[in-house]
Amino acid sequence: MSRAAIRYAKAVLSLAQDKKATENVQKDMQSIIATIGDSAELRMVLNSPLIKGDVKLASLREIFKSTSEITQKVFDVLIENKRVSLLADVAKQYTVLYDQLNNRQVAKVTTAVPLDKGLSDKVQAKVKELTGNEANLENVIDESIIGGFILRVGDLQYNASIAHKLTSLRRELSN
């Protein structure tokens, strides 16, 4: 993540806080992340030095016409400063800052099978116990852990996988 993207995201969050629109801008940013992530053509247009800024701006305004005034201003500023290629990074960084502002974080949960409601609730309770905050769960499937889960929140990791327990038991028995 570039320093410029972080600075733009902080500025957007500050403006959104002043206008009491942080939640609306958060929805816009999530939409931008998803749309740019799904469209190779849009990424190509935003990154191309051959396409003029006014064409890029018109494209963004058309694609994201239902976004807030603040988000529209972000497009203007990025185009004006020839930084529109940073749009996805700015949006991602905004969501991180928004989550920090609201004491929410992303918890990466690795499981052998997709999370069901029961396991999701247990993991959410463990996150609350370890960090004191709520978290958005991001589920990663890895059958090599056999069962249980590995929880990573920021720089904290809690490993409750069967593979980890077997490895620990193997170490104990060999000593």
Task: Please name each of the domains of the chain with its CATH number.
Answer: 3-100 (1.10.520.20), 103-174 (no CATH)
Close Cβ partners of 37 (under 8 Å, ≥ 6 residues apart): 88
Return mean pLDDT, the chain: 90
Q: For residue 89, what pLDDT is reported?
A: 95
Q: Are 53 and 82 in contact (CB under 8 A)?
A: yes
Q: What is the pLDDT of residues 67-111, one digit of tens each?
A: 999 999 999 999 999 999 999 999 999 998 998 888 777 888 898
Identify the DSSP state of 101: H
Q: Whole-model pTM above 0.75?
A: no
Q: Identify the CA nearest to 61 among candidates 47, 76, 51, 50.
A: 76
